[in-house]
Amino acid sequence: MKLKTTTLIFLMVLIYGMNSSFAQFSYNPGYYVDLNKDTIRGEVLFNNLTRSPKQMKFRQGDQVKVLTPVDVLAFGSEKAKYDSKEVLIDTIMSGDNVDDLTTKRNPVFVSKRLFLRACSEGKLNLYLYKGDHQRDHLFVENKDTIMELVYRRYFEEMNKLDMVKTQIIVRSTSPLQHKRKFVKENKLYIGQLTILMADQPAIVQRVRGLKYRRQDITKLVDSYNHKGGSTKKKKKKK
């Protein structure tokens, strides 16, 4: 009896998971903004389950067309809004998996037009792009420019003389010193946000210990936009 109950529960969970997956790939009421800034309404279909969409399908009646970031300015549904942006994006792997890390401290940028998901809108816009390796790339935009918030984890080789519990590293010139790799962090995003939010000192104080996590940075940018009186509430699309 216990085995039958366990099997039944397993089947119910499996069916629920399959239904949820199918729901992710079904058409939903939405819109897109064309290159003439006209809003066209219909139904949209896009896969944002594990990464940002490279294209989306738009349906009006029996007509279906595939649209990419070069075809539209934006698209969205009740679930999410995406803007098409030309950005410089870091191409070097840097994530939680140590095996993926390199010794490069600084980002290597390439220019791409991508669909970026809007996380916060206002005086400062915050966008998310999740690439093929499921790494979060966060972008901030003000009236002048859009840039990636830089955070990198990388390897640095240290010899025995470097292995001290301090941020100051004294290097040895001897090639005989035994070397080991240590994971280091480039937290340039702290400086970027400090400059961008300099007009609100109370918000800047929260930047110093900020982790590079989408939820944490979204909350901070929301606070900045709210205190600046310019937060745009997400509108439900018809």
Please report the DSSP string for 56-92 in residue order: EEEEETTEEEEE-TTTEEEEEESS-EEEEEEEEEE-S
Q: How confident is the model at residue 181 (pLDDT cuts 50, 70, 90)?
A: confident
Residue 158: predicted pLDDT: 65
Residue 221: predicted pLDDT: 98
- Rounded average pLDDT over 212-228: 93
Residue 227 predicted with pLDDT over 90: no
Residue 177 predicted with pLDDT over 70: no
Rounded to whole angstroms, how far apart are CA atoms 133 and 95?
Answer: 9
What residues does 182 pair with on adjacent strands? Answer: 156
Residue 5: predicted pLDDT: 52
Residue 238: predicted pLDDT: 42
Phi, psi angle pair for 85, to nearest 5°: -135, 140
Mean pLDDT, rounded, of the chain: 81
Rounded to whole angstroms, how far apart are CA atoms 115 and 105?
Answer: 27
Residue 53: predicted pLDDT: 94
Structure tokens at 100: 């993926």
Matching residue, tokens 């075809």: 71
- Highest mean pLDDT (candidates 67-71, 150-154, 163-167): 67-71
Residue 214 predicted with pLDDT over 90: yes
Of all residues in the chain, the percent with pLDDT exceeding 90 is 57
Structure tokens at 157: 């080789």
CA 165 to chain centre: 33
Residue 100: predicted pLDDT: 74
Which residue segments constitute the domains of the chain, with CATH numbers given? 26-79 (2.30.30), 82-228 (no CATH)
Q: What's the half-sphere exposure (Cβ side, CA atoms, 13 Å) at 134? A: 4
Q: How confident is the model at residue 228 (pLDDT cuts 50, 70, 90)?
A: low
Q: How confident is the model at residue 104 (pLDDT cuts 50, 70, 90)?
A: confident
- Rounded average pLDDT over 40-63: 91
Q: How confident is the model at residue 71 (pLDDT cuts 50, 70, 90)?
A: very high
Phi, psi angle pair for 115, to nearest 5°: -85, 120
- What does pTM read for this prediction? 0.77
